[in-house]
Amino acid sequence: MNLIEISNKTQLFLEIENFNLYSEEGLIFNQEHIKKFQIHIEKINIFFQFQQLNKKINYFYVSKNLIEEYAKNKNSTGRANLNEYSVVSIYPFHPHEITHVIIFANLGRSIPLLEEGIAVLFGRNINGEVIWKNKPISHYVEELKENNKFPNINELLDNFSKLNQDISYPASAYYVKVIIDKISIDKFKVLFKSKNRIEELKNLIM
């Protein structure tokens, strides 16, 4: 299933400033969900000093069955289609995937460690704490370190896709936060796009 088929199975629910919101029949965005879209993009734009996007993000709120067909993955809850500025998700608001599209629109592609690290940092946030799968990032970091399973930078760079997501995603968020705090957001944006980012990352962390 491709994005055209997804669009054929959904209908436009609402147009807002930076998003076109589509939903599968029976699924509804409430006012609380709708407010979160604009708050989220404004938060990212302020933090990264981005300008407003010159095109809207298409957000498709769909059933579990439809996302499984689209993502070809039974465990998927959402998928960002970067080239199409689109998100397909089972949630009426999915900040992790939205973040991917906003970052791509402004900075282009990078490596998984940096892309996912940023998406986790700007994903779910409760009382100022970054959350991954209903637990604070600090929980994962502490537990992994206690069990000597916290990956070093080389492990993440070399084996990101092979690691369990409950290791690679929180660890990436941890490293990205450390890097931003160390070099500033302006230099991080340069690093994100650098052709030598892997070597630069190693020098920063090791």
My answer on whether 41 and 57 are in the same domain is yes
Residues 149 and 81 in one domain: no
Tell me: do 8 and 101 sit in the same domain.
yes
Q: What's the CATH number where 58 sits?
A: 3.40.30.160
Does 33 share its domain with 46?
yes
Q: Are residues 197 and 130 in the same domain?
A: yes
Q: Kindly report the pTM of this predicted structure.
A: 0.94
| Same domain as 186, residue 160 | yes
Same domain for 61 and 90?
yes
**Would you say residue 206 has pLDDT above 90?**
no
Q: Which pLDDT belongs to residue 167?
A: 95
pLDDT of residue 128: 76
Same domain? 34 vs 99: yes
Are the beta carbons of 172 and 112 closer than 8 angstroms? yes
pLDDT in tens, 108-148: 999 999 999 999 999 988 777 898 988 999 999 999 999 99
Segment 18-77, tens digit of pLDDT: 999 999 999 999 999 999 999 999 999 999 999 999 999 999 999 999 999 999 888 899
User: Is 103 in the same domain as 12?
Assistant: yes
Residue 25 makes CB contacts below 8 A (sequence gap 6+) with 11
- Total tally of structural domains belonging to the chain: 2
What is the domain range of residue 139? 112-205
